[in-house]
Amino acid sequence: MKNAEELLDKYNAGLANAEESAIVERWYVNADAAGALPDMQDILDDQLESRKKLQFYMQPKQKFRLWTVISSAAAVLVIAGVSMFYFSNQDKGRQLASVAQTDVAPGGNKAILTLADGKQITLSDAGNGTVAEQSGIAITKTKDGQLIYRVAENRQSSSVERPKEDVYNTISTPAGGQYQIILPDGTKVWLNSLSSLKYSINLGKDKQRNVALKGEGYFEVAHDGQRPFLVKTDQQNVEVLGTHFNVNNYHDEDVPSTTLLQGSVKVYNNKYSRVIKPGQQAQFESTGQIKIVPVNTEQIVAWKNGVFSFKRAGVETVMRQIARWYNIEVIYEGEVPEISFTGKIYRNVSLQEALKSIGYIGVRYSVENKKVIINPEKQ
């Protein structure tokens, strides 16, 4: 093995040999008992030089470099090397976490479709197939959790006239829910938890394709050089012709943002307007300024691909995402721990498995029914 990152990658993939597995497992067990993780790279260097024994050490009340931990249930993907945790070890004998017996299942494909006449359809309860028809447009639910708008089979597209008044539908996801929708113009949208999208069923015919978003959504806009696609929120607007981008407009996040993965978009508010390129994120600050920063786009849209992904994220940032997905309440007893987290967690594991990752980096917590209590004072 050349380095710790390679070793952890092999172990996580199940490709490590007996000696390599022993290094990782002895490192992990020792760290768990001591309450802190040593630097695996130093251990590996010693192993390669002497192959006599592994050196584990701990220095209480000093900052430690901590490699991302592999969950015992493989719930956590390992990001080693540059991905590190930093925290102060206040008590070398402390327990990493205290978890009650209750557990919470992960979220899934859940959403409510509200039609123009006010009728609501709970999509998780509705059977597969056509769930409604409006103005010659059939609304179909698929078995893999998609909602698709298309011209009804019994109507020719040329005979379907545009209604005199716009007909709007809204799809909304609860806490612990997500959903994918294919709009009437062919645009694909993924909605994250606690989000909603309002749109016209005439989106395929309107001169300008306008939708209204709350929460977070990922868009793959069907290209149409003659008809712009506009995403409106209460804090930002995004205008495109055809491209892939993510809009985050949760009110409890630090700043609303738009992240571009492909193509080109114009973002604007009441004061400013900017154009961003792939790999850039537009952040809408409270002053009205639009700040453009480079970002890891894979990390931004990880939620759409079934993963939580963090880089030096604070405990509150991590727990906000977990709270939305598992539909739980987070309570902080005292000040929030000043600990940062870098790593990935699968979104299809139980709450207990997801919380193991923050326990490994020194955050003490307990679970009571659907409440997670963070208790830094007892760390």
pLDDT, one tens digit per residue, over 34-56 is 344 555 565 565 555 444 332 32
DSSP letter for 220, please.
E
DSSP letter for 145, please.
S
Lowest pLDDT segment from 132-136, 196-200, 244-248: 132-136
DSSP letter for 279, please.
T
**pLDDT for the residue 261:** 96
Residue among 333, 350, 339, 273 nearest 312 (CA): 339
Would you list the domain boundaries of the chain?
Answer: 4-67, 108-300
The residue among 86 and 139 whose pLDDT is bigger is 139
CATH value of 108-300 in 3.30.70.20, 3.40.190.170, 3.30.1330.10, 2.60.120.1440 = 2.60.120.1440
DSSP letter for 378, please.
G
DSSP letter for 135, please.
T
- When the pLDDT of each residue in the chain is averaged and rounded to a whole number, the result is 78
Measure the CA–CA gap between 106 and 125, rounded to whole angstroms. 18
The residue among 161 and 144 whose pLDDT is bigger is 144
